[in-house]
């Protein structure tokens, strides 16, 4: 039986990512974001939604750049901490023992401990209410070499134990159920 429930943002689980920003070591910061995702494949584009009062908001708006750093079970504590502490009060890289690393095309630092870093340039800022959406072009990807399948060239984030966020809680991802198109593939008679 279905019952009415108040309207809200109940699309879960979501990726829990750490977004790094800044153009000089003195203003580097990390912001934890769950409101993020892919918008387009060609050209590659993504978004993050950020509240105006967040310390990173003005940094990203001024520089027009940020990096989406995918998170793992090993980064769960840092992911949460960077979401509940302000960069106005803490150097998050130092406090969480994370390593800022120069990317390929943006001045915003990568988080070296992240298995995949998505370098972004802001294309548009859309005011939406509680958050503004930073719509961005993906200009470069920095991937952990050990997670790239040598035979297929595919990036295998599942080997890094990715972190997900669901209604205020963090989870590791579980068992693989199938691959894209598995429901229509012909079954092999081989054992």
Residue 8 confidence (pLDDT): 81
Which numeric CATH code is attached to 14-172?
2.30.110.10
Q: Average pLDDT for residues 2-14, to the nearest whole number?
A: 85
Domain coordinates of the chain in residue numbers?
14-172
Q: List pLDDT tens digits, range 73-87.
A: 999 999 999 999 999
Residue 33 confidence (pLDDT): 94
Q: List pLDDT tens digits, range 54-64.
A: 999 999 999 99
Could you give the CA distance from residue 9 to residue 43 in angstroms, rounded to a whole number? 27
Residue 179 confidence (pLDDT): 82
pTM over cut 0.75: yes
Query: Is 90 exceeded by the pLDDT of residue 11?
Result: no
Q: Where do we find the tokens 């952990």?
A: 144
């Amino acid at each position: 039986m279905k019952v009415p429930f108040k309207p809200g943002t109940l699309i879960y689980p979501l990726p829990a990512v750490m977004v790094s920003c800044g153009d000089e070591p003195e203003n580097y910061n990390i912001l934890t974001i769950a409101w993020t995702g892919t918008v387009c494949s060609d050209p590659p584009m993504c978004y993050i939604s950020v509240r105006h009062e967040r310390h990173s908001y003005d940094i990203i708006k001024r520089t027009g750049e940020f990096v989406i750093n995918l998170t793992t079970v090993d980064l769960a504590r840092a992911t949460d901490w960077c979401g509940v502490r302000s960069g106005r009060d803490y150097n998050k890289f130092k406090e969480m023992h994370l390593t800022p690393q120069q990317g390929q095309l943006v001045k915003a630092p990568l988080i070296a401990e992240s298995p995949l870093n998505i370098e972004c340039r802001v294309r548009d800022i859309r005011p939406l209410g509680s958050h503004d959406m930073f719509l961005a072009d993906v200009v470069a990807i920095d991937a952990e070499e050990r997670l790239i399948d040598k035979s297929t060239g595919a990036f295998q984030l599942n080997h890094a134990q990715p972190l997900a966020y669901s209604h205020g809680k963090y989870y590791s991802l579980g068992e693989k159920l199938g691959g894209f198109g598995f429901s229509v593939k012909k079954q092999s008679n081989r054992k």
